[in-house]
A = this chain, B = another copy of it.
């Protein structure tokens, strides 16, 4: 009965600045995509739910011609919901399923080459992720004066450390298998 986190992301992002649904998607893509995602199928309906629950407000509808853009902002009530969640203890039960590791666990069934290929492709993926972090770092630089910034850097660093550890692991495994 995992509670719906989508509404919390929305509230969180709107606590930074008023945004439209589309803005939220872009914001996520530029900043937290390395540990969070939202799909349209969740985003837009949730936006409307939050609106009817008065946790967010519809600031204005911009219309240039007939192109519509809904700009939302967080309400006082929304803020208190957000703050309550932030102070809540996160239950860390959720284990995240890792398909590569699962395959590796059964790798005795296949040739060493298959296994090596798995590791190399993971290595490559991790390297791409590292590059992604560079991009994100660039993207959020424009917020470097914001009080949010230091926390965002924390997040980035987390991804960085994880990726480095992963890379080291891939290489060690590959070395051990090729000896």
Contacts and interface: CB of A to CB of B under 8 A. Distances in A.
Contact of A152 (B9, B86, B105): B105
Contacts of A89: 121
Contact of A106 (B35, B82, B165): B82
B157 A104 contact: no
Contacts of A166: 158, 161-162
Interface of A: 5, 8-9, 12, 15-16, 31-37, 79, 82-83, 85-87, 89-90, 92, 94-110, 114-115, 118, 121-122, 125, 146-148, 150-152, 154-155, 157-158, 161-162, 164-166, 168-169, 172-173, 176
23 contacts: A8-B102, A15-B109, A32-B102, A35-B95, A35-B96, A36-B98, A37-B95, A86-B109, A86-B114, A87-B114, A90-B118, A90-B121, A92-B121, A101-B155, A106-B148, A108-B146, A154-B173, A157-B169, A158-B166, A161-B166, A161-B168, A161-B169, A165-B165
